[in-house]
Each structure stands twice: as C-alpha cells, then as structure tokens.
Amino acid sequence: MRKIQHIPFGLDDPYLDVAYSERRIPTDPTDGENVNVYFKTLPMEAGQRAWLEVLRNDVAYRIRAQYQYNEGEWALWNAVIPSCRAFEKIKYRIGFGKGDCTAIYSEWYSFIVKKWMEDSFIKYDGRNLFIDHESEHDKVPRLIRSRFLTDGKAMYDIELIFKRKQGENFYGLGEHYDSLELSAGSPYYVYVFDQYKVQQKRGYAPIPFVFSDMGFGLFLNTGFRTKVLLSEDTISFTIQTLGTLLTPNNFNAKLWVDTKPYEIISDFYKIVAPELPPIWVFGPWVSANEWNTQEKIEQTLEKLRTLDLPTSVLVIEAWSDEQTFYIFNGAEYKPKKGCDSFKLKDFTFRPPWPDPKAMVDKLHSQGIKVLLWQIPVLKHEDKPSVQHKNDMDFAEKNAYVVSKGNGESYRIPKGRWFEESLVIDFFNVNAAEWWKKKREYLVNELGIDGFKTDGGEHLWGRNTHVCQNKSAAEARNIYPEKYFESAKKMVGRNGVLFSRSGYINSPKFTIFWVGDEDSSFEAMKSNLIAGLNVSLSGNPFWGWDIA
C-alpha cells in the first residue's frame, strides 16, 4: 500500500516537534518567509517522484520535491514554497508516484500568511495592561516595543519587549530547574510539560509571572503558551496562540514598576491565593511504586514502627486494576453501566488487596494518612475489562473526553505517556462530575484522605479541543487546574491532593512535588531550585523525592 504522511503542525510543541520530520516549517508562515513542506512517502521505489500542487492567488502550479533521506521504509521529501506574502491564502497538496498515471494525492492543506505589525495597542492604567486599538494612551513604563501577529483581519500572537537595566536580575516563571535567576540565551516556555528527569528549563508547573531585583514585575494572565527570552538589555514576552484568535477578553496582565521585590511577590500571592493544607501535610511522607500489595504496605508499617520513623502520610501508587484507576487490583464485582458508580459493598476483595478497609483503618490508627494515585485518562487497552469498556463507551458517547477538530475523540499521541488513551474533559462539568462520582466511595466509605493527582500534561495540538470548542493552544496550561478542581471537590477541605503539573490557580486546590528525578545530590539540588522557583511564584507548598 502506498501512503503519504504529512503533519503540518507536528505536536505544536516547542520541545518535541523536532522529532516530527514530516511537518511544515514554519508552521505559521509570516511575510517574506519561505515555507518548507516536509513529508514522507511509502514505499521507497526506484523512479518514484514527489511534488506539491500549489494554489496561490488563484494560480495553480507544481513544485518538485527533493528527496532528503529514508526513515526506515519511508522516504522523506521537502518542497519549498518561496517568498510568501502577507495575507496570502496558500493551498497545497502532495503528489507521489512514478508519474501522473500512477500518482496518489494527499488531502489539501492551507495557511494564511501572517504579518507582524508594530502598534501601541497596549493600554496601561497604572496597574494593569489591556489591549486597546481604539484610543490614544500613555506610554507603558519600560516597554520598548509591542507588536501583534495578524492575518489582516484578526490578532493572534503578541510580543512585548521591555528594557532591562544594567545588572538587573529576573526571577519567577514558576517551576524550572536550571537556576534561581533567569538566564539569557535559550528561551523559557511557560508551557505545562512532562519532562522525565533532567528538566532544566522545562517545567510541569510553570507560571507566567516574572519579577526583578530592580522593581519590575509582570504577570500575564493567559492560558496560552508564553515564550520568555532574556538578553543583555531586554526581556521579551511572546504569547503564542497557535492560530487561535487573541481578543481583549482573553488577555490581561498586571505590571509592577519601581516596586520592592517582596511587595511584588506579596501582591502575586494575593492573586494566586494558595490554600493552606491540613497540618498533617507538614510531617514526613513515605511512598514507593513497588508497594503493590496490602502485604507490602503492612510490612512497611511494621518497619516504620520498628525503626521508630515518624510518618504522617503514606502514598500508595500501584493499588488499582491499572485500567479504571478506581477499582482495587484483584477485586471481584459485577460490572455496571458506564453511567453508574460503585459502592464499597459492591466489591469482594481478593489478593493482592484482600481487605483495603482494614488496611486503611490500621494506618489511621497509627496516625498515618493515606493517599491513592490517580491519572485523568481512560487508558488504552487492547483487551479492556468489561467495566473499563463500559466507561470508555459511555464517556465517548456523551462527549466526556477531549476531542479533535473533526469531532473524533482525541487520543494521546504515540510515544507519550499513556499513549493512545482518551483524556477526561474536565472543562465539561458533567464529565468532571462523572469522573468524581466513580471515585467517591474511596473517600466516603474507605476513608482515603486524598489523591496523588499525577499527570495533567496530556493535550497536544491546536486541533485538539475541550468543551465549548476551546483549543488546546489555550486549554493545555489550564487543564491541570480543572482536573484538580474536580478532585478537590471529592476530598473536601480536610483532604489533600498531591500533584506534579500545575498552573496559575492550582495552589487553590493542591500541593506539589517537583517530579521524577534521579537519586543523586545533583538531582536533589535541581529539585530544590525548582521548588524555590515555585515558591517565588505563588505556591509555597511543595516537596521532592529524597531517595
């Protein structure tokens, strides 16, 4: 079978797109740029050719593609659309074969060439920044340049460049592991991202907030990805909408000038308003992914008692059936409809968890709180259990999962954690309630004190959408907040969530740990740096793995 593969936008990811050789570069062309259209064809045969058919300004023509190299059985090609002009709409499709008679074609792709326009469109009222194209307004302090990306009709990205004073140091941006001071050179992206170990500038819980030791501070209250670049004499902020319209309603910012750093931090804490967790959170915690049976938990409890090690919280990660993530592994039960929820009495518990209620009660009697691991996905399985299939079918039928632009259910891309899995749409209040009710028996009847709400970094691509047709371009960073909001309603004020991902409002619902890391002093140092950066950015309640 002959195939053509072209993914114009890749994953729309600043870190991973380099792995997508068959994408368009640039994905969103601007005035004067050449556009490289990379694509792959299968199979590789002697005498084959590939080309683009281009429709530009009502003129159709063909561009021959150049063979690059092979990737396994695939051939990689590139064709260049030259000198794109502002506001042109360009359509193209890919042809492949040994001639017109044997050719196969891709679908049609299109883009509108955008242009950066400089304009004093940012209004400052002494505290806040707004988009205002209509009225005259005073100069924004320290703002050197402002420009926006347009297709001639609407606004997309915006870039704000501020003056950096000599010797001025900048801090903030939530979680990053490289240093406390922001460094020049490569950019930072305020972009919720799952980087397994050696995170450097990448963070699970970034925050679009920066302050300096010379009175400057800026908070961009947006869900869109923000690129932050520091140079010797400037600091720039680019809100990247990935083709989604940016309007005055989805942009606002707060600017501090000539303000002491501790006052800026204090003001930002008032905006974030982190919730004080219960006092038991501040004791020692224990957790291990290998504790996958009740027997191992009880052995751990005995060892803690023997060694006289104080313990406040025990986190059980590998407890569930690894499909529903709300049923204990080994439990026997009669499957229910996808719309229904379970009670504790519905289960007959068997090894490896023969009596979880007795286990939880025993831990509580020793003054130890219990958290269970969670993930906001419906896991892909080749052979799902009856219950898991019922849940997935119900969720898809009722649009309780994240979707693609064509209405199909979105699945996590291959190669990413929980690949091919469905993702719960917590922007849909009915979906959030359904997910919550499935787990309520764990809190209300079993006595679980909270959840390790792992994950949350699962939305890729501008054509991925949550409820009310909001693009993942804007929803990706906000998604963890919606996830935690639903889970927090389940555990209540006296319960706790322990999370890895996060964004601006997450500290209202959860405390944090700073992600997976090696057991080394170098790794611990980077974890402490990340935690301190989080603390400077509105979230004081965090921990890290000691060993």
- Going through 57-194 in order, the beta strands assigned E by DSSP cover 59-64, 66-71, 74-81, 89-97, 104-105, 109-112, 115-118, 122-124, 128-131, 143-150, 155-163, 170-174, 188-190
What pLDDT was estimated at residue 57? 87
- Judge contact between 310 and 284, C-beta under 8 A: yes
Nearest Cα to 268, choosing from 258, 257, 279, 254?
254
Q: Is 265 helix (H, G, I), strand (E, B) or coil?
A: helix
Q: Which residues are catalytic?
A: 454, 457, 516
Average pLDDT rounded to a whole number, residues 12-19: 91
For the chain, where do the domains classified as CATH 2.60.40.10 start and end?
3-112
- The fraction of the chain above a pLDDT of 90, given in percent, is 86
What pLDDT was estimated at residue 547? 60
- What pLDDT, in 10s, does the model give residues 169-214? 999 999 999 999 999 989 999 999 999 888 899 999 999 999 999 9
Give the C-alpha separation, 231 to 440, whole Å.
50
Give the DSSP H/E element, type plus range, for residue 496: strand 496-499
Is the confidence at residue 137, as pLDDT, over 80? Answer: no
* Alpha helices (runs of H) in 195-286, residue ranges in sequence order: 261-272
Give the DSSP H/E element, type plus range, for residue 536: helix 521-536
Contacts of 340 (CB under 8 A, 6+ apart): none
User: Rounded to the nearest 5 degrees, what angle is found at the Cα of 130, between the Cα atoms of 128 and 135?
Assistant: 120
Give the C-alpha separation, 522 to 516, whole Å.
14
Average pLDDT rounded to a whole number, residues 420-443: 98
Give the DSSP H/E element, type plus range, for residue 423: strand 422-423
Residue 442, φ and ψ in degrees, nearest 5: -65, -35
- Judge contact between 539 and 512, C-beta under 8 A: yes
Looking at CATH, the fold of the domain delimited by 3-112 is given as Immunoglobulin-like (2.60.40)
Between 250-259, 344-353, 424-433, 481-490, the lowest mean confidence (pLDDT) is in 250-259
Domain range 115-272, CATH architecture: Sandwich (2.60)
Q: What is the DSSP letter of 250?
A: G
Helices vs strands, H then E, count in the chain: 7, 34
Long-range contacts at 383-386 (CB < 8 A, ≥ 24 apart): 384/323, 385/321, 385/323, 385/324, 385/335, 386/335
- What pLDDT, in 10s, does the model give residues 75-121? 999 999 999 999 999 999 999 998 888 899 999 999 999 999 998 78
Give the C-alpha separation, 369 to 362, whole Å.
10
Domain range 279-508, CATH architecture: Alpha-Beta Barrel (3.20)
Burial of residue 25 (number of CB atoms within 10 Å: 0-12, 13-18, 19+): middle
- What pLDDT, in 10s, does the model give residues 389-428? 999 999 999 999 999 988 899 999 999 999 999 999 999 9
Q: Which pTM was predicted?
A: 0.95
For the chain, where do the domains classified as CATH 3.20.20.80 start and end?
279-508
